[in-house]
Structure 1
Amino acid sequence: MPIIAYLNFNGMTEEAVHFYHQVFGTDTPQIQYFRDMPGHESDSQLENRVLHARLTVHGTPLYFSDSMPQNPVSHGDGITLAIVSDDAELLTSEYNKLAEGGRILMPLQDTFWSKAYGIVEDRYGIQWQINHEE
């Protein structure tokens, strides 16, 4: 079984999933909400929070969820998601879209190991390494 990244957000998962759907041109996201759980009682803090969402990016599944309001999450720089492709044009497009509203940590550039390598933190605090490989 593969190791799958599971990204958690503080009530912004639906927005983030739709953003990534646009960036990577994925199939329609699969999103389940707390309100859809069998036996769920109405709770205004949870109604619109995402229980589980899934996207497949470059053939790899990514999972998403909102945190519980009493247990907010914070994002750090200990983990980055790496996108590796032999299509430099596609990588450049994805890098630029991820950078919109985010922060460029390393400009996309030619390095001794890659024709296009860069690091960006997107508007949701998730860091991405973009790496071109033949």
Structure 2
Amino acid sequence: MFGTSHVKDIFTNMSALFDEVCSCFQRFIWGQKQYFYISTSKSWEDARYHCRQHHTDLAMIEDGSENTAVVSVLVPDEWTWIGLYRQAWRWSDGSDSQFKNWWSGEPNNADRNQHCALEHGHKWDDILPKNSIHTMK
């Protein structure tokens, strides 16, 4: 398993008014979706809470072209939270995930509690939700 020193981003999909302006946000638009990359490190639960406090949720990546677009704005070799979690792998808003982009051998639930997903190197990995990493919303 990777160390947590590289894990620090949040990547979220914004579908409503974002009511805070901060230099730690990087805005990105793809199609009808608006994303924000947040460089503040948080656990998955704290990242989701942060997003919901700002009327949005963690990023939902629904196909390969969207994944490619999202990855193009991420910092290479850094881990970034997305909204996927283990319960038949659903998005944080409760919707099913039709698109999958796992690393080979993932998700593996190695510690029996790797219940959240992150984006790293154009692929996804399951990881402990308490790790503190960046976020995309």
Bigger fraction of residues in helix: 1
Both proteins in one fold, TM over 0.5:
no
Provide the TM-score with structure 2 as the length reference: 0.30
